[in-house]
Structure 1
Amino acid sequence: MKKFGLLLLIMGAILFGLAACGGAKEEAAPKEEAKTADASTSATDAEEFTITAKNWEFASDKELTIKKGSKVKINLVNEEGMHTISNEDLGIELKADTPSVFTADKTGEYELICSTICGATDDHEAMKISLKVID
């Protein structure tokens, strides 16, 4: 009986972990601009990118390469599952349908990662996309 209870507990944990990535498509909420460290940053003169998220995969509408000092607006669209994007160095905490606007002030290559646990550890840890800031 104890083995059966343990098996049910493990199966429930696995299903819960997979639900984040395999959940139903989110309803589109009204878009509002995310607050950033620089509240005066305007999205109207920012270079804009849209990142789509599917189970364990990010894709962008164009190459994520920008010039240092540029204002950037990143949109996240969840096509499958529920995902978020973050990068501590750039101060990005991005949720679907809530754009992040910031100024890229340091050159380098930054990994934007899924910050919502969405499945098995190996699959979730591989869910990344790169943003390059060049001179």
Structure 2
Amino acid sequence: MKKILFATILFSLIFALAACGGEEADQSSNNATGDNADVTQLDISATNFDLGQEEYTVNAGEEVKITLTNEEGMHGISIDEFDVHIEGEGEATFTPDEPGEYTIYCNIPCGNGHGEMQTTLVVQ
């Protein structure tokens, strides 16, 4: 009888600790990746002469973390109005205060299509 009671208490304790540990791990990973209601993540994957989408939309007054990865070729991006300049892969953080449309363009000469390698940042 004591063994059954001991085993029941032990399994209950293990179950409770596992459930609590799982929640903490999820919260830690959210904070580590920057998933936060106050920060908008903007991921741009560059290929030769393309920045992924025709436009990207963010909200005015909210912090934006922009990350550039190069899938093909060597590229960088700039948004002059927000003093964002990434050369090669990297990231930058800025807060757009004024609604409008802003040009995101490749800042590394990358070949014949370089002049058309741009997209639009729409700030609402």
Please say whether Structure 1 and Structure 2 have the same fold, judged by a TM-score greater than 0.5.
yes
Question: 8 Å contact 1:66–1:132 — kept in the other structure?
Answer: yes
State the 1:64 CA deviation.
1.6
Distance 1:79 1:67 in 2: 27
| Paired AA for residue 57 in structure 1 | D
- Correspondences of 1:88-99 after superposition (within 5 Å): 88-99=80-91
Match of 1:69 among 53, 56, 61: 61
Distance 1:129 1:91 in 2: 16
The root-mean-square deviation of aligned C-alpha atoms, in Å, is 1.9
The number of aligned residues is: 89
Question: Structure 2 stretches of 5 or more lacking a match?
Answer: 1-33
- Which residue does 2:95 correspond to in 1? 103
Distance 1:46 1:97 in 2: 20
- Correspondences of 1:1-135 after superposition (within 5 Å): 45-60=38-53, 64-120=56-112, 123-134=113-124
State the 1:65 CA deviation.
0.9
TM-score (structure 1 length as normaliser): 0.60
Distance 1:115 1:109 in 2: 18
| Paired AA for residue 53 in structure 1 | A
State the 1:96 CA deviation.
3.8
State the 1:49 CA deviation.
1.2
- SS of 1:58's partner is coil
Question: Structure 1 stretches of 5 or more lacking a match?
Answer: 1-42
Question: 8 Å contact 1:75–1:96 — kept in the other structure?
Answer: no
Question: 8 Å contact 1:65–1:133 — kept in the other structure?
Answer: yes
Of structures 1 and 2, the larger Rg is shown by 2
State the 1:97 CA deviation.
3.6
Question: 8 Å contact 2:69–2:90 — kept in the other structure?
Answer: no
State the 1:87 CA deviation.
1.5
| Paired AA for residue 51 in structure 1 | I
Question: 8 Å contact 2:57–2:123 — kept in the other structure?
Answer: yes
